[in-house]
Structure 1
Amino acid sequence: MSLEALLDRFGQAPLLAAGGLLIGFVFGFFAQRSRFCLRSAVIEFARGMPGGKLTVWLFAFAIALLATQSLIALGAMDVSTARQLAARGSLSGAAIGGALFGIGMILARGCSSRLLVLAAQGNLRSVLSGLVFAVTAQAAWQGALAPWRESISSWWTVEGGAARDLTVLTGLGRGGALLFGAVWLVAAIVWARRQKVAPWGWAGASAVGLAIASAWWFTASVAATSMEAGLAPIQALSFTGPSAEVLSRVLFAPDRPPTFDFGLVPGVFLGAFVAAALFRELKLEGFSGGASMRRYLIGAVLMGFGGMTAGGCAVGAGLSGAAVFTITSWITLSAMWAAAALTDRFIDQRGLEAAQPNLGDQPVPRSRAFT
């Protein structure tokens, strides 16, 4: 059945929510299996401790970029009207928000998407941190923290269109963008072979990257095909705005029409839960003490405010935004890496958590888990 026929039969809103649910399920399942996590990748890189997490992130990053740019080059989708490219952006918000998010994900032991995946496995620390993250994001968007976010975002802005498109600003063009992604994919393959990364690592991470490109394609196709008033927003995966939206719907507006974001969050949770259940990794885990709880909650607050100020989280900017080469997303991603590495250096590596695991995460499953 064609997309046009599906739109005629079900309508724009239900179809978007169903697409978000399905793509979110795929993302959640393979993020759980591959242990996809920007925080762990940063720590491995900063400490020079090869363990496969950096390779996993690079596979997801390179595949998301290559698949997205290939779809654009082939004329399969047009993302020029997406908010990340077309709307006015904030360079100051990207830098400061990205840095705050980077600090927060070190303290909370995972970015927003990783918290959702871990919560689905039974990690109660992530459940509480994820809830605080969503509340803070909502407060930064429309609540008490909104004036601070708006002030920071107003310091240095950039117009939409070509002024936010790095393929235009740098002269890369579509071919250069594809070559850039190919270089990083080759690097990921080389590192995967050297570190003997198991199939679930590189294959799962590749599926994560394809989920990003699929979200761009799906929402762009719905927007181009739908005849309903008010085009559906062209977007990919992100977890700051969607988490705030789901919280708002549950508490205040359950009767609003469903959206792609409304399907995304439960889809990721369900996908990660199914993966953990199939491979017997469901396990209830709590806080080890008051100091540990304070650390997680502070991290969640910083991620919620930082992600909303930056206009994207580790996935929203790190994969989705970077895949369409918007300058604000690349600034956000760079700030996340730098701030996370410095936070790890001056907090974790100084022995404040000597009793905690170095990465605070599960190892990439070995090859036998692929069968």
Structure 2
Amino acid sequence: MSSEKRRPLPTITDVARKAGTSTATVDRVLNRRAAVRENTMRRVLDAALALGYLHTGQVEALREPEPIKLALLLPRGTNPYLALVNEKARAFIEHHHRDARVKSFFIDGFDPDELSHSIRRHGKTADGVIFMAIDHPSVRMATNELVAAGKKVITFISDISTSRRHAYVGIDNFAAGRTAALLLGRFTGHVPGRVALIAASRIYRAHLEREVGFLGLIEERFPHIAVSATREGHDDRKQNYEHTRRLLEKHPDITGIYNVGGSSDGIGRALQESGRAQEVTFIGHGLTHDTRAMLADGTMDAVITQNPDRLFEAAVAAAMGKEGTQVPMELYVAENLPQE
């Protein structure tokens, strides 16, 4: 039996002595507990490797920048497109992004106070917050506070005015509204009639911009079309159903409906029950399982959308200070539907 003594394993104290730092600094470097100057971090990791306290793979992992921590705030409700965005966000981070860690949270999408509170609360522990903005003073204030604290703030799908947010990621909503008006006007022909708009809420700048774009082009190109006052359905399929049912009963001359927001399935249900699904032109937003089905059976005529994978990839890139926040607008009809 060998009498040679086995060399004791190195300790944090040994690493600190060799690196010329305190044990507290070594602990911060090895456990990423707080920011440490690059030169200090390099000395600690070199010492840990030389002493055999860490192996090469562990040191290389610690030399990599720590993944950015992001909070994604999504409106809760029955909007299938936003549920799809949340699903795609989780899948994207899990499979494609080792440089970012994202947690998603559903909140009341129509309550500016809850959104402001969520921005502040999640901004304390995250490096950045991505959210669908409500254009409200309290939300702008919370946004500016977070930016002043050195955090990244990215709006997506719907932007916020006069704030210090770093970037908006999404389509040009004014152009989307004009596109919907052009399609609806051409599809309904030159016969005088009435079209109706259903939005989630004008507190979303995206919906307001779509509405303004739509109304502007209808007035310019199709003056023979009357437009009913916009109904707010709060992206709720039941409310959208009730609005549509009452509109169809009150206005037998309706030739088209533009859903500015989501939850188009409620509108489709009312059209189908009325027996007018094949005669009323219906255009909406968000390519999801329900809108696919309605395009296929002729209840919907066109869907304007933004690819959730591209949307979230661009939002994460913006939070990391990279280029590429442009998300192209996509237009689908029954004949060009992509594979799910």
TM-score between both structures, scaled by the size of structure 1: 0.22
Greater RCO, CA 8 A, separation 6+ = 1
TM-score, length-scaled by structure 2: 0.23
Question: Comparing both structures, which one devotes a greater share of its residues to helix?
Answer: 1
